[in-house]
Structure 1
Amino acid sequence: MEGTFLNGRVAIVTGAGRGLGRSYAHALAAAGAAVVINDLDGDVAEACVESIISRGGRAVAEVAPVGSSRVADQLVHRARSEFGRLDIMVTNAGALRDKTLRNTSDEDFDLVVNSHLRGTFTCGRAAVEAFREQREGGRLILVGSPAGQRASFGQTAYSASKGAIVAMMRTWAAECRKIDVTVNAIIPTALTRMVATIPGLAPLVEQVERGEPIDPKIRRVGLGTPDDVAPLVVWLASSRAAAVTGQAIAVGGDRIGFWTHPSETGYHYHDGGWSVPSIDELFTSSGAELQDYMPSPLDF
């Protein structure tokens, strides 16, 4: 069934030359979708296209840096001119500049936010315009990160971008519901080069690169290969997911999880309003419900 799950559908995957993006593109193509492979690196984009075609799929490469409206429109135009329509947009592309706050320059911040957040915004907007014109609905699959959901030391710009993407997803889901466009965010975890700098993970990444199996205990906490994440992308892109929108869904290894929408953990009243002393009493008496903002090791 998987080989025909998305027959007749057309997808764009940004940042699809390597890692998770490449796995998403391959899985969508294997399920029957035609795929526009976007990447900054023309060689890896073309290699991904050739790999898909060699397996009987349909794909073309569009080499460009996401961020601008011009590139977003260019990607949508390529999908429609090459394959006749657009049904699925997966916004995966983005740059990294992992530095602590004091070491993050304006240029670092702008590069990361422009590629991740602005790239998601412009590509999402262009895709929704195409969906609106086609009058047949569509699928937006945005890519978040645990770094946008919890503290992530040394990732100021990346955390800000990924947190904003999930917030934007919820608003888009509300706005696009009337035109049958679903909007969801995946929160993927996988043993890729991106996580190799996290203490203890480099040997596991090397294992994956050698094609060795991953310890089941590691898979249970949500760490596997990029190919473990891709089935969720395919399912969300399909007609079976028509009723699922506005969700942030974690996926990795043997695990799928569901992030809550932000909500108050508790509240208190003070007759006549709050004063500095009454606020001080609330917090110093441990009456305030303070949440842990730091993840535990391997807490995805």
Structure 2
Amino acid sequence: MPSSTDATAAIDLTGKVAVVTGSGRGLGLAYATALARAGAAVVINDLDGDTAGQAAKSLVEAGHRAVAEPGAVGTAEVADRLVARAVSEFGRIDVMVTNAGILRDRVLWKMTDDDFDAVITTHLRGTFTCARAAAVAMREQGGGGSLVLVGSPAGQRGNFGQTNYAAAKAGIAAMARTWSMELGRAGITVNAIVPVAATAMTETIPAFAPYVEAMRRGEPLPAFLRAGEGFGTAEDCAALVPFLASDAARDITGQCIGIGGDRLTLWSHPQETAAAYADGGWSPQTIADAWHTSVGAAPQSVGIPAPRIPEA
């Protein structure tokens, strides 16, 4: 085991180059800032060119190395352009953080094809194309690298009104597991992070709204949110990204890791939780007869648990 001094020293990304999609604001900007502060050069990406440019400018003015490369993730053209910009500007690519995302929330019977396709294109296809472009470049240059894919509790448990988003995030978790196997020999780690923070995507949750508003007035979030719910600021989630990009995490791959507020968690992979057997196989009736006393005795829950707000 490394000493605490060794572990601290390992979180030094000097000489490394990172691309962070959707990093003009919010969680993405927090990730990019944390990477830059650890010494990495960063390519800032955002759909809006002005937003990307301002974010990159703020990092440069703080003494870091950063450039902006706007574009809507999803196509191979944009993914290749992001990686090419990292290589042309800084000489290589070591880290790809696939953060870009949008929401189009509706219940199933009201969700349109466009609602579904837009979210799948940005989250799932955007993660695929950007990770593929980065993996190709990392394998060619040698020396390994890190893919940090951004998941969500919705992808782990489902969430009402989020067919498209939950499906995309579940797919991202599956891709992290798959790619960790495929890229292991090249020294490329692949992990999905599951952040929980006060952002535009979570501030609409009624239970959180008054606390987010208070936070904006400069008031700290209460302990029951920061620790009990693992809910905090975007900056609270950011430390996980440079850690996963560092030498301290070279043996961590194929994992879904949650972070938010004061809490750091490891999500389990889906696995069988119960089994029953019938000599010669099953019929519909024997399944019905055995279900409630065997595999169906303790069904799995779904959905993101509602926040436990203390009574006044």
Same-fold call, TM > 0.5?
Answer: yes
Query: 1:202 aligned to 203, 206, 209, which one?
Result: 209
State the AA in 2 paired with 1:245: T
1:229 aligns with 2:217: no
Letter in 1 for 2:75: S
CA contact (8 A) 1:150 1:293 kept: yes
SS at the partner of 1:297?
coil
1:292 equivalent in structure 2: 301
Say if 2:34 and 2:238, in contact at 8 Å, map to a contact too. Answer: yes
Partner amino acid, structure 2, of 1:200: A
Asked whether the 8 Å contact 1:191–1:204 carries over to 2, the reply is no
Once the two structures are overlaid, the 10-residue window that deviates more, 48-57 or 108-117, is 48-57
* Counterpart code for 2:301: D
1:186 aligns with 2:199: no
Q: In the alignment, residue 91 of structure 2 is paired with which amino acid?
A: G
- TM normalised by structure 1 equals 0.96
Instruction: Give the counterpart of 2:284 among 273, 276, 279.
Output: 276
How many Å apart are 1:209 and its aligned residue?
2.9
Deviation of 1:151 (Å)? 2.4
Rounded Cα–Cα distance in structure 2 between residues aligned with 1:173 and 1:196: 33
Q: 1:178 to 1:206 in 2, by over 3 A?
A: same
- Tell me what 2:156 maps to: 149
- The superposition leaves residues 35-63 of structure 1 with CA deviations (integer Å, 9 ceiling, x where unpaired) of 00000011221121111111110100001
Query: 2:62 maps to which residue?
Result: 55
List alignment gaps of at least 5 residues for structure 1.
none
Q: Is the 8 A contact 2:72 2:78 kept in 1?
A: yes
Partner deviation per Cα, 1:121-169 (whole Å, 9 max, x = no partner):
0000000000011111000000000000112111110000000000011
Q: Is 2:87 aligned against 1:75?
A: no
Partner of 2:39: 32
2:31–2:241 CA contact under 8 A, matched in 1: yes
Q: 2-side partners of 1:2 and 1:38: how far apart?
A: 29
Q: How many pairs does the alignment contain?
A: 299
1:129-148 mapped onto 2 (5 Å cutoff):
129-148=136-155
Q: Aligned partners of 2:231, 2:11: CA distance in 1, in Å?
A: 28
Q: Is the 8 A contact 2:154 2:303 kept in 1?
A: no
Q: What are the superposed Cα offsets for residues 61-99 of structure 1, whole Å, 9 maximum, x if unpaired?
A: 001000000000000000000000000000000111011
Q: Distance in 1 between matches of 2:152 and 2:205?
A: 15
Q: Distance in 2 between matches of 1:3 and 1:31?
A: 10
Counterpart for residue 173 of structure 1: 180
Aligned residue number for residue 64 of structure 1: 71
Q: CA deviation at 1:286?
A: 5.9
Native 8 Å contact 1:91 1:123 kept in 2: yes
Alignment check: 8 A CA contact 1:2 1:31 kept: no
**Partner secondary structure for residue 264 of structure 2:** strand
Distance 1:287 1:141 in 2: 35
The residue that corresponds to 2:107 in the other structure is: 100
Unaligned runs of 5+ in 2: 1-7
Match of 2:20 in 1: 13
Contact 1:4 1:32 in 2 (8 A): no
User: Cα 1:4–1:51, aligned 2, differ >3 Å: closer, same or farther?
Assistant: farther
Task: Tell me: CA distance 1:2–1:145, structure 2 relative to 1, closer, same or farther (3 Å).
Answer: farther
TM-score in terms of structure 2 length: 0.93
Structure 1 residue identity aligned to 2:253? T
Structure 2: which amino acid aligns with 1:271?
D
Task: Quote how far apart the aligned CAs of 1:208 are.
Answer: 3.0
- Distance in 1 (CA, whole Å) between partners of 2:101 and 2:87 is 24
Separation of aligned partners in 2, 1:125 and 1:287: 39
Q: Secondary structure at the match of 2:45?
A: strand
**TM superposition shift of 1:3:** 11
Provide Cα deviations, 1:99-121, integer angstroms capped at 9, x if missing partner. 11111100010000000000000
CA RMSD of aligned residues (A): 1.5
Change (3 A) 1:266 1:4: closer
